[in-house]
């Protein structure tokens, strides 16, 4: 079992630790996951996400190589841009969902912890014929997320980077708390915020410095439970739940990130076929009409028959409703469709609703 | 361990329910240790009034952010009242597990079962062991 550099810090804060993707990570602190969730929506939270992997792609063919393995059009990334993308297998199912950062002389691909080794192998296999160097730098790179409306003000206290000049989905580098840091205006919570990459031996120093800088602004440490409820409300997929190696991104309603028009890439033909013929099942949002907590794996009934399943469900802390993401047959995926979720053996009424449940702040129209 | 509240005016099941007797009625809830282990409670599903239950039957469900847990009848009898306000105020389970967050009342069919439940000292030992 892997421990992050901050393991002892989490224990000292009274965190409850759980195993996640081979790592021992805080699922919550004594504040509790709901308070942590609200802190990020209303003030700020800091997350230890060092379990995430970072894979560097260098070399003259870095761009054509990434175009070959990514569904997003990587050629649209200006220097310092950071963008969400998927990597797919030839049959269109998902290897992983990632963030691609364009750096000066290279690209950094941020991958899910559980997929780190698999992704590295996959990328290396796919690199045949491309003049690229692929390096897994996860061990020496630390990753923290600072998320919430106060994130900019808090980090500005301890950095020489002018954060007001770092728009959403871009990055900048400079000193944060005296440590050279790459800082992306990204995150997976639906709020404004930053993800920080820096030398792993500075983890404790950086953690303390950010907690101190945020003390008067309501910043608190947040665990995996809050991270999950925050991303869920924004309907961001989580590998192993909404996406995995048996589902394609079109069915997962991630078609926006699949640029079938950009030219050939791994999985393109299969995805184009799904796009043209329409997926058999679709990911939808459910709101419970009857009370009950829908959870991953619970069957979704249509006309009394099990026809789908929940991928993530919970009581949404922000909206105070019982909500779920679920796969249902495409012909029953329209908003307003009445379904049932089998909860503890009892069918409970639910209705298909629009997603996202919570529109990310940076995506709202002014 | 010392942080949890234990009350000596009631008895406990090893599955962390408490029962407090008033006449032939037992009021049932879950312990402070149980609510703490669950973390933030988001939903409570209660049995229907009139249900006949046997000691050990799963009769209610308490759901936290992370998990759903059964609540077992610590005593046999008939459910004669449920805490109707609790499903709309699940946070009471965290805030006041021995008071406002009672789950249901059982009219005991075998009051001798109450004496078989754990007294507060025996229950503390159960919690101590689970903590290790």
Mean pLDDT for chain A overall: 97
Q: What SS3 state is found at B63? A: strand
Query: What pLDDT, on the 0 to 100 scale, is given for residue B66?
Result: 84
B43-A284-A303 Cα angle (round to 5): 80
Full domain range(s) for residue A129 = 53-136
Where chain B has pLDDT below 50, the residues are 1
Does residue A208 lie within any of the structural domains? yes
- Both A22 and A151 in one domain: the answer is yes
Query: What pLDDT, on the 0 to 100 scale, is given for residue A117?
Result: 96
Say what percent of chain A tops pLDDT 70: 100
Categorize the per-residue pLDDT at A366 as very low, low, confident or very high, splitting at 50, 70 and 90. low
Does residue A326 lie within any of the structural domains? yes
Distance CA B97, CA A127 (A): 58
Query: What pLDDT, on the 0 to 100 scale, is given for residue B2?
Result: 53
Categorize the per-residue pLDDT at A363 as very low, low, confident or very high, splitting at 50, 70 and 90. confident
Span A84-112, pLDDT tens digits: 999 999 999 999 999 999 999 899 999 99
CA distance B12 to chain A (A): 25
- Tokens 């630390």 found at: A142
Does residue A248 lie within any of the structural domains? no
**B44: domain CATH number?**
2.40.50.100
Q: Angle between the A116-126 and A62-69 helix axes, to the nearest 10 degrees?
A: 110
| Partners of residue A315 in chain B, C-beta under 8 Å | 42-43, 65
Q: Which of A136, A156, A185 is the last residue of a domain?
A: A136
| Nearest residue on chain A to B70, alpha-carbon basis | A344
- On whether ipTM exceeds 0.95, the answer is no
pTM of the complete model: 0.94
Categorize the per-residue pLDDT at A316 as very low, low, confident or very high, splitting at 50, 70 and 90. very high
Distance CA B12, CA B127 (A): 11
Query: What pLDDT, on the 0 to 100 scale, is given for residue A188?
Result: 96
Q: Angle between the A224-233 and A33-42 helix axes, to the nearest 10 degrees?
A: 50
CA distance A65 to chain B (A): 40
Q: Which of A17, A18, A34 to mutate to test the interface with B (most CBs of B within 10 A)?
A: A34
Distance CA A75, CA A255 (A): 18
Full domain range(s) for residue B40 = 11-110
Query: What pLDDT, on the 0 to 100 scale, is given for residue A9?
Result: 98
Inform me whether the C-beta atom of residue B85 falls under 8 Å from chain A C-beta atoms.
no
Nearest CB to B61 within list A28, A315, A344: A344
Span A38-62, pLDDT tens digits: 999 999 999 999 999 999 999 999 9
Helix, strand, coil % over all residues of chain B, rounded to 5: 25, 35, 40
Query: What pLDDT, on the 0 to 100 scale, is given for residue A24?
Result: 96
**A86: domain CATH number?**
3.30.70.1400
């Amino acid at each position: 079992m892997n421990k992050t550099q901050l393991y002892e810090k989490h224990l000292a804060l009274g965190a409850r630790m759980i195993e996640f993707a081979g790592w021992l990570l805080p699922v919550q602190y004594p504040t509790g996951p709901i308070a942590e969730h609200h802190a990020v929506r209303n003030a700020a939270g800091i997350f230890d996400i060092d379990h995430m992997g970072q894979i560097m792609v260098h070399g003259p063919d870095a761009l054509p190589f990434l175009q070959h393995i990514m569904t997003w059009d990587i050629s649209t990334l200006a220097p310092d841009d950071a963008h969400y993308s998927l990597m797919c297998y030839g049959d269109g199912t998902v290897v992983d969902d990632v963030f691609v950062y364009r750096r000066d002389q290279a690209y950094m691909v941020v991958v899910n912890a559980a997929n780190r080794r698999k992704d590295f192998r996959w990328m290396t296999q796919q690199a045949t014929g491309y003049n690229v160097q692929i390096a897994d730098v996860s061990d020496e790179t630390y990753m923290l997320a600072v998320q919430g409306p106060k994130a900019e003000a808090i980090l500005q206290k301890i950095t020489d980077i002018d954060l007001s000049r770092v728009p959403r989905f871009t990055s900048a580098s400079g000193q944060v708390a005296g440590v050279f840091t790459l800082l992306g205006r990204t995150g997976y919570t639906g709020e404004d915020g930053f993800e920080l990459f820096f030398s792993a031996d500075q983890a404790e120093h950086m953690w303390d410095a950010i907690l101190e800088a945020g003390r008067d602004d309501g910043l608190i440490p947040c665990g995996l439970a809050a991270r999950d409820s925050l991303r869920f409300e924004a309907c961001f997929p989580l590998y192993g739940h909404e996406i995995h190696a048996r589902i394609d991104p079109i069915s997962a309603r991630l078609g926006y990130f699949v640029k079938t028009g950009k030219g050939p890439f791994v999985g393109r033909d299969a995805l184009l076929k799904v796009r043209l013929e329409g997926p058999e099942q679709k990911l939808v949002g459910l709101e419970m009409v009857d009370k009950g907590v829908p959870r991953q794996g619970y069957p979704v009934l249509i006309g009394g028959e099990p026809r789908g399943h929940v991928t993530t469900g919970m009581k949404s802390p922000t909206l105070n409703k019982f909500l779920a993401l679920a796969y249902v047959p495409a012909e029953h995926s329209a908003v307003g469709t009445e379904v049932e979720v089998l909860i503890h053996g009892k069918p409970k009424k639910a209705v298909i609703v629009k997603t996202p449940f919570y529109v990310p702040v940076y995506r709202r129209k002014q | 361990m010392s942080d949890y509240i234990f009350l000596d005016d009631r008895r406990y099941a090893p599955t962390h329910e408490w029962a407090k007797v008033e006449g032939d009625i037992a009021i049932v809830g879950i312990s402070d240790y149980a609510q703490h282990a669950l973390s933030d409670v988001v939903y409570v599903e209660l049995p229907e009034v009139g249900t006949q239950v046997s000691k050990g039957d799963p009769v209610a469900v308490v759901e936290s952010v992370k998990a759903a847990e059964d609540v077992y009848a610590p005593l046999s009898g008939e459910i004669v009242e449920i805490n109707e306000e609790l499903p709309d105020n699940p946070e009471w389970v965290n805030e006041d597990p021995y008071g406002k967050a009672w789950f249901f009342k059982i009219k005991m069919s075998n009051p001798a079962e109450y004496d078989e439940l754990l007294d507060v000292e025996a229950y503390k030992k159960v919690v101590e062991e689970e903590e290790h």
